[in-house]
Amino acid sequence: MKRVFLILGSLLLLVFHVRAGEVDSLSRWVSHIRGFSHLYPQEKVYLHCDNTAYFQGDTIWFAAYVTSAATLKPDTCLSKVLYVEMLNEAGEVVSTQRLPVEGGHAHGRIPLCDEFDPRFNNEKGTSRRSYYPINPRTRNYVRPLPAGYYEVRAYTRAMLNWGTDICFSRVFPVFDKPE
């Protein structure tokens, strides 16, 4: 973002200090910038979430928009897969999803719970008789994630060429479920 303001500021300074003979050089410079953005297109991602805070066991529903950075119109040619990650307070990835992008849009959900199979759980004191509900599809126990702050990140592979600073990022609080 700082680069964009730097470039725009430079353009404004050049426009105000342009003399009659420098118009051609300025137009050449603008055509070089347009050529660069045509040869190396950039994308932006935005996630529109259904809420700003959640309780344990809730689900984050979202709509994702992948746009061209130059025109801010839906991008349909560069990336076909959107990566959505959720990180806990320690920076560890809790959930990862790969969503298909069609016409610059994608939809998804992030359940705020863990599934674990007690047969493969090595924690002491954990038994099959758990107070956690069972997911009927996978037959695994479902436990809510601990309360805290979680970061949701979204990006495409093409965005990683420009660094991780341009990836979409948002932090959500997850509260204890009220009784």
Which carries the bigger pLDDT value, residue 161 or residue 64? 64
Which carries the bigger pLDDT value, residue 142 or residue 51? 51
Mean pLDDT of the chain: 78
Q: Quote the CA–CA distance of 169 and 154 in Å, as a whole number.
A: 7
Ranges 10-19, 25-34, 72-81: which has the least confidence:
10-19
Task: Output the pLDDT for position 169.
Answer: 95
Task: Output the pLDDT for position 130.
Answer: 42
DSSP class of 80: S
Q: Quote the CA–CA distance of 34 and 12 in Å, as a whole number.
A: 17
Which carries the bigger pLDDT value, residue 11 or residue 54? 54
Residue closest to 40 by CA, chosen among 32, 48, 52? 32
Q: Which of the four pLDDT bands, split at 50, 70 and 90, describes residue 131?
A: very low
Give the 3-state secondary structure of residue 31.
helix
Q: Quote the CA–CA distance of 125 and 130 in Å, as a whole number.
A: 10
Average pLDDT over residues 13-42: 71
Strands (E), 17-165: 43-49, 54-55, 59-68, 81-87, 93-100, 105-111, 113-116, 141-144, 148-155
Can you give the pTM of this predicted structure? 0.70
Burial track 66-82 (b if 16+ CB lie within 10 A, e otherwise): bbbeeeeeebeebbeeb
Q: Quote the CA–CA distance of 158 and 30 in Å, as a whole number.
A: 24
The residues, any chain, with a CB within 8 Å of residue 143's CB and separated by 6 or more, are 113, 114, 116, 130, 132
CB 64 within 8 A of CB 80: no
Give the 3-state secondary structure of residue 117.
coil
